[in-house]
Amino acid sequence: MAEFRGKLDGSGLRIGVVVARFNQLVTQQLLAGALDALSQHGVAEGDVDVAWVPGSLELGPAAARMARSGRYDALICLGCVIRGATPHFEMVAQQTARAISQLAMEGAVPVIFGVLTTDTLEQALERAGSKAGNRGY
């Protein structure tokens, strides 16, 4: 039997982080968690680039462009989609997941899916640093 384990040492790695501005109250906290995790695992601050996009739908295309640049060893996509009174939530959540998953499957670089999909703002805030920990980490 072969067993493969990754190292939790990010020293020398270049990381691209794409963050949605929509629901920024939540996504800023997710970003803080991600940056904390990267720092704790040896990734230098100067080796992290953060790209802000308008909303979660734009995460996939922006991450794809970053992946094609050849500059990054891994990408992190952070967003927050909160259910509203219309079916818009379903479309945004599904298309965002599809685009990021497709990019990850292409395999140019590892892509981390850090998009919250919640029913309420309170649930999102819980997952971005209060009761449920910080899912950005």
Catalytic-labelled residue, pool 84, 88, 98, 106: 88
Strands of the chain, DSSP E: 15-20, 48-53, 74-82, 111-118
Q: How long, in residues, is the chain?
A: 137
Give just the sign of the alpha carbon dihedral 88, 106, 42, 133. Answer: positive
Give, rounded to a whole angstrom, the gap between the first and last alpha carbons of the chain.
Answer: 32
Examine the residue annotation and report whether 88 is marked as an active-site residue of this protein.
Answer: yes
Instruction: Quickly tell me which residue has 């999102």 as its tokens.
Output: 124
Residues 62 and 51 sit within 8 Å (Cβ to Cβ): yes
5-8, long-range: CB within 8 Å, 24+ apart, which pairs? Answer: 8/41
Q: Which residues are catalytic?
A: 88
